[in-house]
Amino acid sequence: MEELDIKHQLHLLQKEVEAAVSLTEDVKLNLLSTIDLLKIEVEVLKRFMERYHADFPRRYPELREELMREVDSEWAEQTERSKSAARAKGE
């Protein structure tokens, strides 16, 4: 009887894992689709800016570098806050 219960529990666990994998695959596909849509939107905005703001192609690398520094510093701050919070919880 106990062996039958273990087999049943194992079967249920396998079904849960399969459902989780399926859900993860769906989420991945949705994220990839969203990323593709965002890439299109960014390209539309770049082309608009290039057409209607003559100095955009010249200034774009500078603006990109500026933004990358801002985003990197924000990410670093968030990471440090997360580490501090985790340390505080562990104490």
Q: Read off the pTM.
A: 0.61
List the one residue out of 47, 50, 68, 71 whose CA is nearest residue 59. Answer: 50
Q: What is the pLDDT of residues 24-65, one digit of tens each?
A: 999 999 999 999 999 999 999 999 999 999 999 999 999 999
Q: How far apart, in whole angstroms, are the C-alpha atoms of residue 28 and residue 25?
A: 5
> What DSSP state is assigned to residue 91?
-
Rg (CA), the chain: 24
- Contacts within 8 Å (CB) and 24+ apart, 79-83: none
Percentage above 90 pLDDT, the chain: 68
- The answer to whether residues 77 and 85 touch, using CB atoms and an 8 Å cutoff, is no
Instruction: Name residue 42's amino acid.
Output: V
